[in-house]
Amino acid sequence: MLFGKKIVITGVASGIGKRTAQLAAQLGADVIGIDVRKPDVTVGHFIEGDIGSAAGVEAIAAALPRGVDALCNVAGISGKAGIVPTLAINFYGLRELSYAVAGKIREGGSIVNVASIAGYGWRANLDRAKKLVAVKGFPDVDAVLRAEGLHNEFGYPLSKELLLLWNMQAAHEPVFKDRGIRVNAVSPGPVETPILTQFREVLGNPRVDSDIDRVGRAGTAEDIAPPVLFLCSDAARWINGANIPCDGGLEASINAEVLGF
């Protein structure tokens, strides 16, 4: 499905990013992996880099070759480190990397963002999300958040709310649309990865356990990697600006409860 495609994947040292890189290689892709630390086993070519700063994004973009077929924005943190690094990595850095790499992606290529069911509240918080997404470039994240009176407990859900809103906007931005680059997202529910324990600390056991109970089990990286790579493939050539819940039916269950059907 991906034979001969050049796919860039962030967050390859563990979890969803690691499994996505492995599966992409098995499906015939030329993988370029990015992470702040080197994986135990390197799949394809590896670039050490950090999307948590403007300089880090610039260095990664400069190191990438032209002729990329897809960028998979998988790297992210749980929110445990605080709201500033969480927003910097999960949204502003991710977004800036996408813009920086756009010119190196082939016409008809793809960007896939790993969002989360935690971003479900973007509609309820639309005004706030619109304001923060409208901030251009890689801002002084601390200053932006202080101006809005936002604290650490908002970090992870807020980062994913912004990502889901931008995901739809980006699909129609000229930098991508004029070259036929599709921008889509995959939203997992709770997934058994090394940072699930941190999510429990940030979101609380009752929230995480409730989400798992709704669908019978937590997801695995093996559940999430295939939809991510489907969106990289030509089979998804008419899918753009979409968010695919990959959560065992969690969003459907929440919709039924919230909307009362």
pLDDT at position 204 is 87
Q: Phi/psi of residue 41, each to 5°?
A: -125, 120
Coil, helix or strand at residue 215: helix
Q: Does residue 203 have a pLDDT over 90? A: no
| Residue 201 pLDDT greater than 90, yes or no | no
Element containing residue 164 per DSSP (H, E): helix 155-170
pLDDT of residue 47: 98
The tens digit of pLDDT for each residue in 69-113 reads 999 999 999 999 999 999 999 999 999 999 999 999 999 999 999
Would residue 1 count as lying in a domain? no
Q: Which of 92, 99, 120, 156 is catalytic?
A: 156
Q: How confident is the model at residue 1 (pLDDT cuts 50, 70, 90)?
A: confident
Is 128 a residue whose pLDDT tops 90?
Answer: yes
Q: Is 120 a catalytic residue?
A: no
Residue 81 placed within a domain: yes
Expressed as residue numbers, the domain containing 146 is: 6-255
Lowest mean pLDDT among 175-184, 202-211, 228-237: 202-211
Average pLDDT of span 224-253: 98
Give the DSSP letter of residue 119.
G
| pTM for the structure as a whole | 0.96
pLDDT tier at 202, thresholds 50, 70, 90: confident
Question: Does residue 131 lie within any of the structural domains?
Answer: yes
Confirm if 223 and 100 have CB atoms less than 8 A apart: no
260 occurs within a structural domain? no
pLDDT of residue 194: 85
Is 150 part of a structural domain of the chain? yes
| Residue of 97 and 193 predicted with greater confidence | 97
261 found inside a domain: no
Mean predicted confidence (pLDDT) in 54-66:
98
Helical (H) or strand (E) element with 68: strand 68-73
CATH code for position 14: 3.40.50.720
Handedness of CA 57, 62, 64, 70 (dihedral sign): positive
Edge to edge, what strands does the sheet with 182-188 contain?
45-48, 30-35, 6-10, 68-73, 105-114, 182-188, 243-246
Residue 203 lies in a domain: yes
Looking at the structure of the chain, the number of domains it has is 1
Q: Is residue 181 part of a domain?
A: yes
Reply yes or no on whether the pLDDT at 153 is more than 90: no
Q: Tell me what the mean pLDDT of segment 176-181 comes to.
A: 98
How confident is the prediction for the chain on average, in pLDDT?
Answer: 96
